[in-house]
């Protein structure tokens, strides 16, 4: 290269650029503005409203029903081979998931096991929202040939023949009819009551405050020393991306970091499967479900069912899955509706690229984040770790 004034100028410019870039990367994050503090407050667990009442389940908040439901939840006799309980797939130490791509019970299930934590707040259950209450949800796997593979008559018989269960059931719902129960309405009613007891237990499974929540408290109290002690710069930059440029908060909003709604985000199909139609099939199923809010098994005599009444249908819902909560992702890999993505880093990379969806359209847009920024987002997500609690344990 020819020496001369140009060379010096170029070297000086390169040094200036490197210094400027490093300054940008290593600079401390700015203070939160009032508007940003408002957004952080909206994600704070302290902002979680009271649990919405489940008018379709008269025993939803009855501790006796929750205790009965807890026993049922862990009872493997509720299956064709006596080896599968709800807890087989919904493992408490994995935030009530199972660490597998698809659930494995009597057979392989169709999708990844979703968590139960905080789902009492959701109007829709399952990845595709094909049930509209926790109690209706709890009944479906019992009769799924790939899950518990039992049936309602056997489930009711188990409760009737176990003295402890029968006593619990009858103290909550009145006398259990003699077996076998020939009247399908009476059988279905008893089956629904068993689901309502399991739901009463599941309603107690809630997230607990994480380091992120402590940090938000420090921001709200304007305690900068505590903020610095709680969050590293990378975690703060990650949080800034989360509520800003990365658009995560579009769907992962509110104190549970989910809007409980359905979105197509272009996740690739599972090997051997056709792409999953998801919500468009789920909404059709919930409308026809024999245990939905409008059914005679609901305890709400008004049959007040605004979710069903105003449920959206149509092709926008092709390939749309329910937004999962992001609280406590530790030990819950893999991710997405069929466990297609093995790590959080893969999930972040997927959203960074936002590929065209195989069916329907991907609502997400490419983000163009750097590897460093993706790392900061991952660091932030780890601050949401906190084992769920069973409030019921404290009663």
Partner 1 sequence: MISRQIVSYLLVFCFLVALPAQNATAHGGVVEEDDLCVIKVNYLRAHFKIYQPGVTGHEQYCEDLPVASESIFVMEYQHDSLSTMPIGFRIIRDVTGKGRFARIEDVEEIEDLEEATVYYQPPVVEPHIYLANYTFLEEGDFIGIVSAEHPETGKIYAAVFPFEVGFTGLGYWPFIIGLLLLIQFQYLLLSGRLKRWFGKAPVVATCLIVCALFVTPTAFADNPVVTYTTPDGAPEINRMHNWILHIENEDGLEIENAIVDVEGGMPEHNHGLPTKPRVTEELGAGDYRLEGMRFHMSGYWEIVVTITTDSGTSKVTIPLQL
Contact residues: partner 1, CB under 8 A: 249-251, 253-254, 259-263, 266, 268-269, 271-275, 277, 280-281, 284, 306-307, 309-316, 318, 355-361, 363
Smaller CB separation from partner 1, 47 or 224: 47
Q: 3-state class of 110 per DSSP?
A: coil
CB neighbours of residue 216 within 10 Å: 27
- Is the distance from CB of 124 to CB of 260 less than 8 angstroms? yes
| Shortest Å distance, C-beta 341 to partner 1 | 13
Smaller CB separation from partner 1, 69 or 360: 360
Smaller CB separation from partner 1, 195 or 266: 266
Looking up tokens 């001369």 gives 4
| Shortest Å distance, C-beta 58 to partner 1 | 22
| Shortest Å distance, C-beta 222 to partner 1 | 24
| Shortest Å distance, C-beta 44 to partner 1 | 15
CB neighbours of residue 47 within 10 Å: 13
Smaller CB separation from partner 1, 52 or 83: 52
CA 378, CA 235: separation in Å to the nearest integer? 8
Smaller CB separation from partner 1, 356 or 393: 356
CA 277, CA 264: separation in Å to the nearest integer? 10
CA 211, CA 377: separation in Å to the nearest integer? 15
- Is the distance from CB of 269 to CB of 359 less than 8 angstroms? no
Smaller CB separation from partner 1, 233 or 307: 307
φ and ψ of 346, to 5 deg: -65, -40
Angle ∠(264,268,274) on CA atoms, nearest 5: 95
| Shortest Å distance, C-beta 202 to partner 1 | 20
Smaller CB separation from partner 1, 266 or 339: 266
| Shortest Å distance, C-beta 265 to partner 1 | 12
| Shortest Å distance, C-beta 29 to partner 1 | 21
Smaller CB separation from partner 1, 158 or 358: 358
Residue 339 CA to chain centroid, in angstroms? Answer: 14
| Shortest Å distance, C-beta 258 to partner 1 | 9
CA 220, CA 235: separation in Å to the nearest integer? 17
Q: 3-state class of 131 per DSSP?
A: strand
Per DSSP, 320 falls in state B
| Shortest Å distance, C-beta 123 to partner 1 | 8
Residue 42 CA to chain centroid, in angstroms? Answer: 18
CA 236, CA 27: separation in Å to the nearest integer? 12
- Is the distance from CB of 168 to CB of 160 less than 8 angstroms? no
Q: Say if strands 321-322 and 389-390 run parallel, antiparallel, or are unpaired.
A: unpaired
Smaller CB separation from partner 1, 240 or 260: 260
| Shortest Å distance, C-beta 168 to partner 1 | 34
CB neighbours of residue 161 within 10 Å: 10
* Residues 6+ away with beta carbon under 8 Å from 26: none
Interaxial angle between packed helices 152-161 and 163-173, expressed in degrees from 0 to 180 and rounded to the nearest 10: 100
Smaller CB separation from partner 1, 153 or 249: 249
123 to each of 54, 66, 109, how far by Cα in Å? 10, 20, 23
| Shortest Å distance, C-beta 261 to partner 1 | 4
Smaller CB separation from partner 1, 280 or 377: 280
């Amino acid at each position: 290269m020819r020496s001369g004034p140009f060379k010096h100028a170029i070297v000086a410019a390169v040094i200036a650029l490197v210094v400027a870039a490093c300054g940008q990367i290593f600079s401390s994050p700015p203070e939160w503005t009032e508007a940003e503090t408002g957004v952080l407050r909206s994600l704070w667990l302290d902002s979680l409203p009271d649990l919405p009442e489940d008018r379709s389940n008269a025993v939803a908040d009855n501790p006796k029903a929750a205790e009965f439901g807890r026993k049922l939840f862990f009872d493997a006799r509720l299956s064709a081979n006596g080896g599968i309980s709800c807890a087989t797939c919904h493992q408490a130490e994995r935030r009530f998931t199972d660490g597998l791509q698809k659930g494995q019970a009597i057979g392989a299930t169709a999708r990844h096991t979703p968590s139960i934590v905080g789902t009492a707040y959701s109007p829709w259950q399952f990845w595709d929202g094909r049930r509209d209450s926790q109690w209706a949800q709890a009944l479906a796997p019992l009769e799924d040939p790939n899950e518990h593979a039992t049936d309602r008559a056997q489930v009711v018989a188990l409760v009737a023949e176990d003295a402890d269960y029968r006593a619990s059931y009858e103290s909550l719902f009145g006398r259990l009819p003699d077996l076998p129960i020939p009247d399908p309405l009476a059988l279905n009613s008893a089956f629904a009551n068993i689901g309502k007891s399991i739901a009463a237990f599941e309603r107690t499974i809630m997230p607990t405050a994480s380091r992120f929540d402590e940090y938000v408290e420090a921001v709200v109290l304007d305690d900068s020393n505590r903020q610095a002690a709680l969050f590293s710069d990378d975690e703060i930059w990650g949080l800034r991306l989360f509520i800003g440029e990365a658009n995560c908060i579009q769907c992962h909003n509110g104190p549970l970091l989910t809007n409980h709604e359905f979105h197509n985000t272009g996740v690739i199909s599972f090997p051997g499967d056709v792409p999953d139609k998801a919500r468009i099939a789920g909404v059709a199923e919930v409308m026809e479900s024999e245990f939905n809010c409008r059914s005679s098994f609901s305890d709400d005599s008004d049959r007040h069912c605004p979710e069903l009444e105003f449920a959206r249908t149509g092709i926008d819902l092709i390939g749309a899955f329910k937004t999962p909560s992001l609280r406590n992702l530790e030990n819950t890999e893999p991710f997405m509706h069929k466990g297609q993505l093995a790590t959080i880093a893969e999930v972040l990379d997927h959203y960074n690229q936002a590929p065209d969806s195989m069916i329907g359209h991907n609502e997400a847009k490419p983000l163009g984040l750097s590897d460093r920024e993706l790392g900061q987002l991952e660091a932030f997500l780890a601050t949401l770790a906190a084992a769920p609690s069973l409030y019921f344990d404290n009663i």
